[in-house]
Chains A and B, each alone.
Chain A
Amino acid sequence: MVPAKSASAAADERSLGNACRVGARSASAGAPARGPDLIEQLISSRFVFAAVAFALVCAMAATVSFARAPAWQVRDKTWAGWAVRDFLTGDERPQVVFLGSSLVLVPVATVDANFLGRRLDGSQHHRSYYFEHGIERRTGSSIRSFILALPGQMPSDAYLITDYLLDGKKTPPVLVYGVGPRDFMDNLLPSPASTDLFRCLSRFGDISGMLDRVMPDWVDRFNYRLGRCVYLYGMKEELSCRAGQALCRLLDRLLPVPPGVTPYTVAHRREILPGYQMGGLEAGEAFFRPHGKDELTFADNIAEYRKRYSTVRWDTFTTQMRFFAELLDVARQRGIHVVVVSMPITEINRSLIAGYAWDAYRNSIHVLATVKGASFLDLDGSGAFKQSDFMDTVHLHSGGGKKMLDMLADRLAADSALRPARPGKRQPEM
């Protein structure tokens, strides 16, 4: 316990006394070397040489596009990663694409689970069979849908999807975009760029032009710029992913899972490491299950939404509303007909939002949809949904979802904009 006496014991007290008056010392003694000396020393510095060598490594890697792969090939095991990969690798062009947050995804997928009578893997299920069936029943034409509605999706994410993905061969004739007040006034969201979805989608295009809006914090912008300047830093996701795959192969060879033993499931891993890859989604991890009326329960998520709405952040509201407007612009330029659906929420949830914020939200989406030439389907104001249609204060359950998809199919079946989307042949079942 008694270490050797530290050097402090031998400190020169006189020099200490002098040093204590350090503020009075004369200036300018510390000017660095100048001219040729400086250059000579600069070259002989190991760190400077290493920094130059590192810059050269990055430049060479950039020149040969080391490890660069198409954005969709990056193994991004998130809700967005699975959906985007499926969307881009699928052969067929969908006639209707769904956008929105879990307010859209949950009812659409749970209706399908009931409709098909089996549980559906969240990472794989990206079609609305019930909706396709409904359109066919109403019009006699079959269509193909694709669900790009994803948990936590904000209008900024929806804009990136529209701009980067719904283009060329993948341009759908119709885009159904379900919005809710949370999409425009979520206090828990630090910035538009902080969602998993945005991180995934930003690989598909250049977001430099919108940095101020999506990354209000200078650290985030600096991080982004650093990634653009330093090739290896910009490619770190791809490189670390590849390194992980290589390590995985090595470990499978050297230290395989012992025979007769089942590897940990994602659910088990989540129990012991709840904070690890929170936004991640593995195949077979999350299912939409069929259920009868008796099994429906109402979950109280008021506390969560109270936090989300606690104070209205107008910067978030205006930023997201601007993305919403730009989404409608991009869609119109590409000939995509947008149906803006005002998603129903419960009275309990609405009461948590300040009156002026609610009015601003309602008026803005209605006016923008109208001005930008989109259809507006006001399910929230329709009076058709009661609290018994919901599984919590905002998400419709399968019963409510069925009602919603029926109303949507009625509207689209009568909508002339959908006509070019009806090729006439029925799509094969999943």
Chain B
Amino acid sequence: MLFNSLQYLVFLPTVFLLFWIIPQRLRVPLLLVSSYVFYMSWRPIYGLLILGLTLGNFFLVPFIARSTKHKKLWVGIVVALNLITLGVFKYANFAAGTVTDCFNFFGLTVRQPHLHIILPLGISFFVFEFIHYAVEVYRGKPVVTSLPAFALFASFFPTQIAGPIKRYQDFIPQLGYPGKFKWEYLDQGMQLILMGLFKKVIIADNLALVAQAGFSHPESFSAVDLWLITYAFAFQIFFDFAGYTDIARGSAMLFGYKVPINFNLPYLAANVADFWHRWHISLSTWLRDYLFIPLGGSRGTRSQTYRNLFITMALGGLWHGAAMHFLVWGAYQGILLIAHREYGRALEAAGVAERLLKSKIYHALSVVFTFHLVCIGWVFFRADTIAAANQMVLKMLTAPAELLHFSLRQLAVLQIRDPLIFPALLLILPVLMISQPIVNWLNGKRFYQSPPWAVQVGVMVALMCLLTVFSPDTSPRFIYFQF
């Protein structure tokens, strides 16, 4: 069941109404049943997977808390069980393919076994939540004693498929709050849902056409076109995932629950480290807490820290998908983070760091430069293979030479008049780019934080009209569903 489907348009209001009508003691069971209905509407059999993992973690993690001598062993067992499940369902085909490729590389002809494994939706997200729970209990946090509450933590339908990755200490206490309905839940929740749908259906789905054409046929486009297409993908993935997160947060808000934010104007980041503070925040904090820090974090030598950074980001890349180009994307992010640290050290050594960081021009240039570095990374993320990504990046690097004798005749996007999003890119991309600093500026203004009542109503009515008219009959799945 997709958030932008008619099924969800029936499902969500039904659960919402039931939730606030029934006695409070039945609400967690209601949400639990609803969440399983939501999950099993895709492939009923995979309901057993999430149920099995829930029961396994619920009954095994208390052993971590109780054990005095074998805490590490127990946490190792629980984490391993979760990772093995993830590995089997997500990486088995990839591993088989990689091993086969290795054999073939050495001249041993081996046929890749075809494993009929379908990736369960959301497995990467709920497995990470289970691991977080086990590690936190290992670190001394209390265990959850209510099975329904724990089961709901993992299966809560708004965040079940693509996060945000929740923390049980934040989520589970909310289930016990005295639940009196407040109209602000409805107002805030629906605002977020409408805004999320707008981001997904109106912006991301249209930009998706550009990315699809450009990344599957880079040879048909000039270097400048390819940059425009990469910008389009950068905004597509942002609005797709940010839209999903808004809908997830809005849906949770309808029940009075808060789930963490995932984005904070990521394309205004002034460096790559800043970007990861702003992009997919729930994942980056998870990677920090449960991978980077256990690996040693920044506590060791410089080279050890860099090693830890690189491993964290490379594995973070692989988490996005079982394919080499995701691994390369992650490794690229790791290298950028290391390079950023080295650059910072060099500036400090030269004694110019403070002066430069205060300069607005330097800051603006840093934002532009970081955005372009991130965009190059997106090419590896979106391309089907590393070879295709390399081909595209190499062509994009010739853009400066192309710009020297640039004419509009070179732009293929102007020659494609249907779909209209291609020529419209030249208008839309500047608007999307400028909107980021404007929103950043507005965020500091009081009238933007709590706009007048009439403005809020007007925006909601406008969004309803736009979504009603321009929602397509079929919409592509959210990009992060595949992870």
Give the interface of A toward B (CB within 8 A): 1-4, 6-8, 11-13, 15-33, 41-42, 44-51, 53-54, 57, 219, 222-223, 226, 230, 232-233, 235-236, 239-240, 243-244, 247-248, 251, 254-255, 257-258, 260-264, 268-269, 271-273, 275-276, 282
Given known pairs A1-B276, A20-B145, the reply for A29 and B7 (CB within 8 Å) is: no
Given known pairs A19-B174, A20-B145, A32-B181, the reply for A264 and B420 (CB within 8 Å) is: no
Give the interface of B toward A (CB within 8 A): 5-7, 10, 20, 23-29, 141-146, 148-150, 167-170, 172-176, 178-181, 183, 186-187, 190-191, 209, 212-213, 216-217, 220, 260, 273, 276-277, 281, 284-285, 287-288, 292, 298, 309, 312-313, 337, 407-409, 411-412, 414-420, 423-424, 426-427, 453, 456-457, 460-461, 464-465, 468-471
Nearest-neighbour CB distance to chain B for A172, whole angstroms, equals 33
Beyond A1-B287, A1-B309: 13 further Cβ-contacts under 8 Å?
Answer: A2-B288, A8-B167, A21-B146, A24-B146, A30-B179, A47-B460, A50-B464, A53-B457, A222-B6, A232-B465, A251-B420, A258-B407, A272-B213
Nearest-neighbour CB distance to chain B for A191, whole angstroms, equals 13
Residues of B within 8 A of A248 (CB): 417, 420
- A28–B26 alpha-carbon span in the complex (Å): 10
Residues of B within 8 A of A244 (CB): 420
Summarize B's interface: helix, strand, loop or mixed: helix
Nearest-neighbour CB distance to chain B for A273, whole angstroms, equals 5
Contact of A16 among B5, B142, B418 (CB under 8 A): B142
- A12–B337 alpha-carbon span in the complex (Å): 34
Select from chain B the residue with minimum beta-carbon distance to A8. Answer: B167
Nearest-neighbour CB distance to chain A for B98, whole angstroms, equals 27
By the criterion CB–CB under 8 Å, are B175 and A22 in contact? yes
By the criterion CB–CB under 8 Å, are B469 and A7 in contact? no
Point out which of A1, A47, A244, A248 has the most chain B C-beta atoms below 10 A from its C-beta.
Answer: A1
Nearest-neighbour CB distance to chain A for B262, whole angstroms, equals 11
Given known pairs A47-B191, A239-B469, A273-B209, the reply for A23 and B292 (CB within 8 Å) is: no
By the criterion CB–CB under 8 Å, are B426 and A255 in contact? yes
Would you mind naming 29 contact pairs between A and B with Cβ atoms under 8 Å apart? A6-B170, A11-B173, A13-B142, A16-B144, A16-B172, A19-B175, A20-B176, A21-B146, A25-B24, A27-B23, A27-B25, A30-B180, A32-B180, A33-B181, A41-B183, A46-B187, A46-B453, A54-B460, A219-B6, A226-B6, A232-B469, A236-B469, A236-B470, A248-B417, A257-B417, A268-B220, A272-B216, A275-B212, A276-B209
By the criterion CB–CB under 8 Å, are A7 and B170 in contact? yes
Summarize A's interface: helix, strand, loop or mixed: helix
- A15–B149 alpha-carbon span in the complex (Å): 14
Contact of A45 among B187, B213, B260 (CB under 8 A): B187
Nearest-neighbour CB distance to chain A for B91, whole angstroms, equals 23
Select from chain A the residue with minimum beta-carbon distance to B422. Answer: A264
By the criterion CB–CB under 8 Å, are A17 and B142 in contact? yes
- A215–B170 alpha-carbon span in the complex (Å): 44
Which 6 residue pairs across A and B have the least CB separation, nearest first?
A11-B169, A27-B23, A19-B176, A8-B167, A50-B460, A30-B179
Residues of A within 8 A of B180 (CB): 29-32
Given known pairs A47-B191, A248-B417, A262-B415, the reply for A219 and B7 (CB within 8 Å) is: yes
By the criterion CB–CB under 8 Å, are A260 and B468 in contact? no
Residues of B within 8 A of A47 (CB): 186-187, 190-191, 460
By the criterion CB–CB under 8 Å, are B167 and A11 in contact? yes
- A18–B183 alpha-carbon span in the complex (Å): 26
Nearest-neighbour CB distance to chain B for A200, whole angstroms, equals 14
Residues of A within 8 A of B176 (CB): 15, 18-22, 25
